[in-house]
Structure 1
Amino acid sequence: MFKSRVIERITKEFGAPSRTTVKVQAWDITDNLGVVVQTDQPNREDNAFVWLPYPPENEEVPEIALEYAGESGRHSNTYASPGLNKGNPALKLIVTSDQELDDLVAYINAFKAFAPLPRINASPAPEEQEPVTAEGLIPVDITKMPTAKPVKPRREAIPRVVQREVWQRDGGRCVECGSKAKLCFDHIVPFSKGGSNSVRNLQLLCESCNLSKGNRI
């Protein structure tokens, strides 16, 4: 399973886990940086859930991450790890490919070194990837080449003052189903479509409602 590959890679990079339970394996990277891989979820073989502390102000949030409010009651087995204490906001990264895993390791190393955090872009879905010929070459017809798309804006962390205002406005509940569990900050207009980190463009959704929404408006 892909979760096993993620655990093996993190162990290779950062040593043996500091804590192992029936639900997680966790690494105490520094006094302020813990990394937690869920072993009880997801059930899909091609996904892994990796929890990280929320990044410092004005730093990058990975494209593959859900942003959790500190009061949302996220996965309880994360609380014992540095930077993931109860009451602190957190990130849950949904890792699905070796490229995302490579980027995750680079992100953790930068976080550890207090360096600027690199981007972690979502890997394209299989149907979006180019076909490859038997010789390993991609055939190119220059006349059919599309115009290059604009570079996507960098996804920045939501300022804490904005998080607090959204939390208070939405009453600490999912605006869709009313749940108080595992609440994420959702961009009403997705960040990838030009949405901002403003109070007007953010809402609280539980994890289930957030994942079902995907990248739709």
Structure 2
Amino acid sequence: MFKDQVIERILNEFGEPSRTTAKVKAWDITQEIGLVIQTDSPNKVDHAFVWLPYPPENGEIPEVALEYAGETGRHSNTYASPGLEKGKPALKLIITSPNELDDLIQYIIAYKSFAPLPKIKSNPLVQQNGTSRTKEDLQTVDVDSMPKPQPKKTRRKAIPRTVQREVWQRDGGMCVECGSKAYLCFDHIVPFSKGGSNTVRNIQLLCENCNLSKGNRI
């Protein structure tokens, strides 16, 4: 399974885990930064769930991450890791490709070194003769068929703690779609990729299922 590849890569980069349970493998990257890989889920062969502490104010939020408020929705086996203690917000990264795994490693190294946090980019597929191939696999390029360059996207920043608290109080600590109080995370009503901001008016509480089903829609 792909999560086994993620674990092997983390082992190669950061050594043996600091803690292993039946459900997770955890590394203490520093005294403030813990990394947790779920081993009990997901069951999909091409997915891995990786937990990291919420970045500092104005820090980079990976596009592949869900943002969790406090311990709500958190995997309980994350609490013993630095920066992921109970009550603290956290990120759950859904890693699905080797490219995203490479970006994850660079993100952790930058986080550890107090350097600007890079993006973790998805691995888009290019259709050629009906077959999905990564851009890196293509040997020739038809210039006329190439898409026009897109404007440079603004980096997705961490939601300020004051905004998190106000959104939590406003939404009553429950998903605004289904009313669930489990697995809650912050959602941009207008997606960040479409120009949405980190303001109270544009942030809402959604449970993980509602958040994932919404995707990048408004």
Q: TM-score range by the shorter chain?
A: over 0.9
Q: Distance in 2 between matches of 1:39 and 1:69?
A: 22
Instruction: Show structure 1 runs of 4+ deviating over 4 A.
Output: 125-132
Unmatched 5+ stretches in structure 1: none
Q: How does 1:5-20 map to 2 (within 5 A)?
A: 5-20=5-20
| Cα distance, 1:136 vs structure 2 | 5.4
Look up the match of 2:117: 117
Q: Quick one: which amino acid aligns to residue 10 of structure 1? A: I
Deviations 1:132-180 (A, max 9, x none): 8xx95224143x4432111221101101110011000001101111111
Look up the match of 1:140: 142
Q: Distance in 1 between matches of 2:60 and 2:30?
A: 19
User: Cα RMSD (Å) of the superposition?
Assistant: 1.9
| Cα distance, 1:113 vs structure 2 | 1.2
Q: Distance in 1 between matches of 2:156 and 2:217?
A: 17
Q: 1:171 to 1:215 in 2, by over 3 A?
A: same
Look up the match of 2:151: 150
Is the partner of 2:101 in helix, strand or coil?
helix
| Cα distance, 1:50 vs structure 2 | 0.1
Please tell me whether the aligned partners of residues 49 and 94 of structure 1 are also in contact (alpha carbons under 8 angstroms).
yes
- Tell me, yes or no, if structure 1 residue 213 matches structure 2 residue 214: yes
| Percent identity of equivalent pairs | 71
Deviations 1:104-132 (A, max 9, x none): 11111111111111111222156599758
Is the partner of 1:51 in helix, strand or coil?
strand
Q: Distance in 1 between matches of 2:19 and 2:148?
A: 49
Please tell me whether the aligned partners of residues 125 and 133 of structure 2 are also in contact (alpha carbons under 8 angstroms).
no
* TM-score using structure 2 length: 0.93
Q: Distance in 2 between matches of 1:208 and 1:62?
A: 19
Unmatched 5+ stretches in structure 2: none
